[in-house]
Amino acid sequence: MLRPRGTLAQLAHGRANGLGALRLLLAATVVASHVFPIGWGRPDPLWSWSGGQTDLGKAAVLGFFALSGFVIIDSARRLPAGRYLWHRALRIVPGLCGSLLFSAAALMPALYWWQHGNLNGFWTRSDGPLSYLTSLGSAAPTTGWDISGVIAEGVRSGTNFDRSLNGALWSLKYELLCYLVAGLLAALGLLNRRPFVASAALALWLLIATGATDLPAGVPPAGGPGIALPPLGQVTFHLAAGLGLAFLLGGALRLHAERIPVDDALALAAALTAAGSARWGGFALLGVPALVYLLFWAAARLPRRLRAIGSRGDYSYGVYIHGFPVEQALALVGAARFGPLGFLACALAATALPAVLSWHLVEAPALRLRSWTPGPLRRAAGREPRPASQPQPPSQPPEVTSP
């Protein structure tokens, strides 16, 4: 029977809330989407089924941004600006650096050896690993960048159909842009006004509806009118609008979680709206809000065991940032002969190892630094303990350290 199941407020408490399971599913969906352009040079089936409005990968990225908005808007509202930015940097940058290092120092050398039988010239080429590693902060890792011609050789031999070593990284600059906007809104005190985020989402939705953001019927590939935003690089208006809308919708649901019902009938209507708009048009205007609600309904309705996924280790980011280069490597050694499902099975299995290592060796250790404060700032805030020879005067209250 279709009936209400409480509100979304339950997702805001505790770690076993279903969001981790959904993030992992969305990351796996992105990997599935990339199988087709990498192995066969064509979009995944959702692209043609939706009339070019979206594909599996972009729909999954929209879901990522919605889940991110649910968490990040509240974080920006609660934390001081410096602490908020520090937390966001720790979540994104160490894993990204680890991914670039993995590709440049492990994966690509192994593939170059497989192609040539030696590493002669690999380290010294102008497009070699050092250039790739120093490209962080530019658009280079996502704009067809290769390392020592490894991917180019695969394209020439007909095994690879995408020239970018890690084309999945394109969305990170939009994620960082959303973080910065959320931090700015918090600094202006606008996030303390709960209706503001929902109003901002509505305003952006109206801009998309009127074509003011140059957003076509769906969420198209990168490209089109935009603006250069150092250090993020070129930001495309239509992508920023579509992803920003998903982010704001997720944030609005978080701020009004106690009023948002987890309703099976609403979820069915949302599923039909998302599917119908993807098939017959209007996905950006109708399908995206429907997809956002459907995701959070699913998070609340997942069985208890599945809701615990990700509560002790979040491998979704590692899957996302390592999946594309792993798939390029698999295509290079001929995994496309197994067909799309076989290729996908190989890709998920091979991506699991670097994703797990990324979490346990890079991401989780970095996140342990969330409460760290440089010594000068601690002393300036009066948090540094006084020497034993100079006891704190009894008239002063006990020292309080913020979490």
- The pLDDT confidence band at residue 390, using thresholds 50, 70 and 90, is very low
Closest CA to 286 of 354, 342, 217, 236: 217
pLDDT at res. 398: 34
- Token pair of 108 as six digits: 């690509």
pLDDT at res. 211: 79
Q: What is the pLDDT of residues 191-205, one digit of tens each?
A: 988 899 999 999 999
Residue 311 DSSP symbol: S
The answer to whether residue 118 scores a pLDDT higher than 60 is: yes
pLDDT at res. 372: 84
* pLDDT (average), residues 35-51: 96
Which residue would you say has higher pLDDT here, 230 or 151? 151
Q: What is the pLDDT of residues 166-191, one digit of tens each?
A: 999 999 999 999 999 999 999 999 99
The span from the CA of 104 to the CA of 133, in Å, is 7
What is the number of other CB atoms lying within 10 angstroms of the CB of residue 128? 19
Could you tell me the residue ranges of all domains in the chain? Answer: 4-120+129-367
- The residues that bridge with 4 in the sheet, in sequence order, are 263
Q: What is the pLDDT of residues 57-107, one digit of tens each?
A: 999 999 999 999 999 999 999 999 999 999 999 999 999 999 999 999 999
Dihedral over Cα of 387, 391, 393, 396: its sign: positive
Q: What share of the chain is helix, strand, coil (3-state, %, to 5)?
A: 65, 5, 30
The span from the CA of 147 to the CA of 131, in Å, is 8
Closest CA to 101 of 358, 370, 359: 358
Percent of the chain with pLDDT over 70: 85
Residues belonging to the chain:
403
The span from the CA of 362 to the CA of 355, in Å, is 10
- The mean pLDDT of the chain is 86
pLDDT at res. 325: 97
Bond into 230 cis (ω within 30): no
Secondary structure class of 356 (helix, strand, coil): helix
Secondary structure class of 341 (helix, strand, coil): helix
- The pLDDT confidence band at residue 12, using thresholds 50, 70 and 90, is low
The answer to whether residue 207 scores a pLDDT higher than 80 is: yes
* pLDDT (average), residues 29-47: 96
Q: What is the pLDDT of residues 257-273, one digit of tens each?
A: 999 999 999 999 999 99
* pLDDT (average), residues 101-128: 94
- The pLDDT confidence band at residue 1, using thresholds 50, 70 and 90, is low
Residue 70: CB partners within 8 Å, gap ≥ 6? Answer: 11, 19, 250, 251, 253, 254, 296
pLDDT at res. 212: 64
- Burial string for 299-324 (b: 16+ CB within 10 Å, else e) reads bbebeeebbbbbeeebbbbbbbbbbb
* pLDDT (average), residues 136-165: 84
Q: What is the pLDDT of residues 322-336, one digit of tens each?
A: 999 999 999 999 999
Secondary structure class of 6 (helix, strand, coil): strand
pLDDT at res. 213: 62
The span from the CA of 23 to the CA of 61, in Å, is 10
Which stretches of 237-337 are assigned E, i.e. beta strand? Answer: 261-263
* pLDDT (average), residues 293-321: 88
pLDDT at res. 142: 63
Residue 166: CB partners within 8 Å, gap ≥ 6? Answer: 99, 103, 141, 142, 145, 321, 324, 325
The answer to whether residue 254 scores a pLDDT higher than 90 is: yes
* pLDDT (average), residues 104-120: 95
Which residue would you say has higher pLDDT here, 218 or 359? 359
